[in-house]
Structure 1
Amino acid sequence: MFLWGVAGAGYQSEGAAPDSNWSRFVTGYQNSVDFLHRYPQDIELAAHLGVEVFRLCVEWARVQQVPGEWDFEFYDDVVAKVRAAGMRPMITLDHWVYPAWTGGWRNPKMVELWLANADRVIKRYAGNGTIWITFNEPTVYMAHEMRQGRFSPMMPSRLVQAHKGAYRLIHEADPQALVSSNVAYIPVVNRLVDFGFLDWIERYLDFVGIDYYYDVTPGNLTAMHGATGKLYKIDPEPKGIYRALKHYARRFPRLPLYIVENGMPTDNGQPRPDGYTRSDHLRDHVFWMQQAQSEGVHVLGYNYWSLTDNFEWGSYRPRFGLYTVDVQTDPVLVRQPTDAVETYREIIMSGLPDDYRPKR
C-alpha cells in the first residue's frame, strides 16, 4: 500500500519554545503557528485530506526541560488524536533541536543522554504502525551546528552511534517498525555531502527517506538561492524528484524509498511571478514520482511539507503550507487553505488524470 502523508516539526510549528540550542539565539520566533494549542484542528485538517501518515517531532527539549524529568502529556494527546483520526504517526526523534542543558554534540555524554530520551519516546509510542525518523537531514543538521559555532568533529560519529542505538531500541519494541534517517537531496554535491552517514548506517535502515525540493540543470541554476535562505526564488525542477529517486535506488538497491518531504515555498504567501501554482507543483512532482515507480523504483510513500506554514529556521517569509498562516499580522492564526488542498485530496482519492502532463 502506498502511503500519502503530511509533515511538520516541533520547534517550527509548536510555539512557546522551551530552552534549547535554537531558542538561545533565534529572534522573532513569537509563537509560530501555535500547534501547541491548535493541534486538534491541524490533525483534523490533515485527516480531511485523506492522508494516512502524519509526521511530527517529539521534541526532546519540550519533554525533558530539566535533567532527569520527562513530561509527555502534550505528545500523548497528539499521538492519540493522530491515531484516532485514522493516521499513522511518523515520529522524528531529532529535528535539529536539543535541550540547552545538554551542551549539544560536543558533550562526550550526548549519545547516552540522547538515547535515554529516545528509549522513553520509543517505548511510549512504538507499535500500531508508527514509522520512525531518527535524525532529520543529518548533514544539514551538522551545517547548522557549524554556523552557530557548536559543531564538534565527533558529531558525525556520534550521530551514527545514536542512530544505530535507536534502531535497535525501536526493533526491540516493534520488530515490524520502519526506521530511517531522512536525507536532503542537494543537487550537484549530493553524493559528497551524504557520503559517509547513509553508508555507515545502511544496515540500520528499513527505507531511505528523501527530502526533495530542488535540482540543478544547465538551464536552471536558481538552486543557488538555497544557500541564502531565499528558497522562494528557486525555480522548481519537478523532474528532479525522478532523478533523486533513481539515484537512491541505484545506491541502495535493497531498500525501498520514501519521499519524507517535498513542497514549494512562496514569498510570504504571494503568488509566484511566473504563475506556477502550488497545485501545479504538487501534480508535477507526483507525476515524476510515479514515473520512477513505473520503472521499478519501490517508493513506499510521499509526505507534503508542510501541512501549515511554519518558522523556517529564522524567518516566516518562506511559506510552504498547504494551509497558509500569517504569523506576523494575524493574531488569530487562521489556517487559510491554498489551492493545493483540494488538489492533494483529489490526488489521494483518484490519482492524476491518465492524460496529465507536467506544467513544467
Structure 2
Amino acid sequence: MTATDDTGTANRWFADGALHLGLGIEDTFVPQGGPGARPIDEYELTEHYVRWREDIDLAADVGAEFLRWGIPWHRVNPAPGEWDWDWTDRVLGRMSEHGIRPVVDLLHYGTPLWLERQFAHPDYSRRVAEYAVAVAERYGDAVTDYTPVNEPMIHVLFCGEYGYWPPYLTGQEGATRLAMAIADGFARTQHGIRDVLGERAVFVHVDASMRYVGDVEAAEHRETAARLRHQAFLVEDLVTGRVDDRHPLAAMLLSNGADPALLGEFIRNPARPDVMGVNYYPRHSTEVFEAGVHHAGGFADPRPTRDDGVAGLREMIDEYARRYGAPVMVTETCVTGSAEERIGWLRESVDEVARMRRSGTPVVGYTWWPLFDMYEWTYRHGTGPRAEHLLTMGLFDLVESAEGLRRERTPVADAFHALARASQRAVATPS
C-alpha cells in the first residue's frame, strides 16, 4: 500500500450543490456453481450482456445523470494475467456517448473461477488490486468514479459467517477472516487506483444499511444487538483506519485470528471515501429483536423485519455522514411491488432527501436500484426457471417473450424522469 490517499476530489463533481439522480443495474456475480447451487450472473439472467445498448439508452431516456454499473471480473480476467475488455469497452463507450457518468462497481461478490477459495485465497487482495489497477489504466480517460467493493459487510456475512456463498466459511472466525481479506483488497484497490489516476479519482464507498430495533436491551439480546450494531460498520471502519485497540470489536477480531500488523497498516494508510454510499431498502434494512424470542439470524432463522420508511432512511444517512465525515449518496433504494408502490417510495424518499439537504445534511446523490427488474438470489438454490425468482423493482419491467426479455416501461420510469428533469432545471436556474 502507499500513503497517497487524499479526500475531497468528489467536490468537483458536486460543486453545483444539486441533488444528482442516477440509476443502477443489478450486477451480482457468484459464478462458482456446485451441487445444489447454480451460478448467479445477473447480467446473464437479465440478458444485459446482449441488450446492453438498449439498457444504456433507456437510462439516458429517463434522465439518469450517472449509472452505478459493475465490471464482471470473472469475465474480463478469464485466466491469471489475461484480459478481455471488448464488451466493457463497448458499454462504457455507449455511456460516454450519452454523457452518463459511470460509477463503476469493481467487486459485487464474484471472483474469477480460477481463484481457488475465492476471498480466502492467500493472494486474493493482491489479485483484486491487480484487476482494479488494470481497469483504471484501461479506462483512465473515461472513468474516474469507483466503488472498490459493493456492500463489503454482505460479503462478510454471506461468505464468512453464514457459509451461504463461496468460500463457505462460518462463525466469528470465518467472519473475521473474510472481513480482513475484503478490507485488505478494498484498501489495496483504492490506493492502486489513486496511484494511476491521482486527484482525478473519486471513491464512492457503498455498504448495506443494517438497523436493529425492538427489545435490543432485553437481557437475552443485549450483547448480540450491540455486536451487530458495531459489526454493520466493520469493513468501512477497517479501511478508514478506525479499528484501533479502543474499537468495540478489536478484541473479537484479534481473538479470531486478525493480523495485528494488517490492522496497523489500515490505521497508517487509510482508504477514506470521497462519497459515502448508503444502500437502504425500507422493507428489509431493519431487523426486529423481540423479548423472549430468540432468532439465530442469517438464513436458517432470520429475525423479522420492519418497514420504518423514511425515518429509517434518515437515520442511516445521518449515521454514515456523521461517522465518516464525507458527503453521502443514496446508492441503492427501492421497494419490490406494484408500480404504484414503487412510485410512492420514489417520491417519499426523494422528498426526504430534499428535506435533509435543506437542513444541512450533505446528500449529493440518489440512486434508484435497479433500472430494470432483477432476479432474486434464491435462484442460486432453486431448480425452476428464472421467472420464479423475478423481483419487480425497476423502472422497467422484465417481460418474457419469444425474443427474450423485453424491457417494458412502467409509470415508475415517468416519475423518475420527472424528478430528474426537475433536478437538472434546478442546476440550470439556481436561485
Question: Normalising by the residue count of structure 2, what TM-score does the alignment of the two structures yield?
Answer: 0.70
Q: Which aligned pairs between 1:334-345 and structure 2 lie closer than 5 A? A: 334-345=406-417
Q: Which residue of 2 aligns with 1:20?
A: 31
Structure 1 CA distance for aligned equivalents of residues 412 and 33 of structure 2? 31
Contact 1:180/1:206 (CA < 8 Å) preserved in 2?
A: yes
Is 1:262 the counterpart of 2:333? The answer is yes
Is 1:320 the counterpart of 2:411? The answer is no
Contact 2:124/2:185 (CA < 8 Å) preserved in 1?
A: no
Contact 2:33/2:39 (CA < 8 Å) preserved in 1?
A: no
Is 1:292 the counterpart of 2:363? The answer is no
Contact 1:264/1:320 (CA < 8 Å) preserved in 2?
A: yes
For residues 176-209 of structure 1, what are the alpha-carbon distances to aligned partners after superposition, in whole Å with 9 as ceiling and x for unaligned?
2211331100111663232321112224121211
Segments of structure 2 that go 5 or more residues without pairing to the other structure are 1-15, 213-224, 241-269, 289-294, 380-388, 425-431
Contact 1:28/1:314 (CA < 8 Å) preserved in 2?
A: no
State percent identity of aligned pairs: 22
Q: Which residue of 1 aligns with 2:203?
A: 179
1:32 Cα deviation from its structure 2 partner = 1.3
Q: Which residue of 1 aligns with 2:52?
A: 39
Question: Normalising by the residue count of structure 1, what TM-score does the alignment of the two structures yield?
Answer: 0.83
Over the aligned positions, Cα root-mean-square deviation in angstroms equals: 2.9
Segments of structure 1 that go 5 or more residues without pairing to the other structure are 13-18, 219-223, 353-360
Q: Which residue of 2 aligns with 1:112?
A: 126
Q: Which residue of 1 aligns with 2:168?
A: 150
Q: Structure 1 counterpart of 2:362, which letter?
A: H
Contact 1:236/1:281 (CA < 8 Å) preserved in 2?
A: no
Number of equivalent positions? 329
CA shift in 2, pair 1:147/1:90, >3 Å:
same
For residues 154-177 of structure 1, what are the alpha-carbon distances to aligned partners after superposition, in whole Å with 9 as ceiling and x for unaligned?
221121111111111222222122
CA shift in 2, pair 1:250/1:55, >3 Å:
same
Give the secondary-structure state (helix, strand or coil) at the position aligned to 1:90: strand
Structure 1 CA distance for aligned equivalents of residues 355 and 347 of structure 2? 12
Is 1:10 the counterpart of 2:27? The answer is yes
Q: Structure 2 counterpart of 1:150, which letter?
A: Y
Contact 1:261/1:305 (CA < 8 Å) preserved in 2?
A: yes
Q: Structure 2 counterpart of 1:237, which letter?
A: G
Q: Which residue of 2 aligns with 1:76?
A: 89
Structure 2 CA distance for aligned equivalents of residues 60 and 97 of structure 1? 7
Structure 2 CA distance for aligned equivalents of residues 23 and 256 of structure 1? 41
- Bigger-Rg structure (1/2): 2
For residues 56-91 of structure 1, what are the alpha-carbon distances to aligned partners after superposition, in whole Å with 9 as ceiling and x for unaligned?
111110111222211010001101111111111110
CA shift in 2, pair 1:126/1:303, >3 Å:
farther
1:242 paired residue among 293, 310, 314: 314
Q: Which residue of 1 aligns with 2:3?
A: none
Give the secondary-structure state (helix, strand or coil) at the position aligned to 1:278: helix
CA shift in 2, pair 1:166/1:28, >3 Å:
closer
1:142 Cα deviation from its structure 2 partner = 1.8
1:248 Cα deviation from its structure 2 partner = 1.5
Contact 1:9/1:95 (CA < 8 Å) preserved in 2?
A: no
Q: Structure 2 counterpart of 1:277, which letter?
A: E
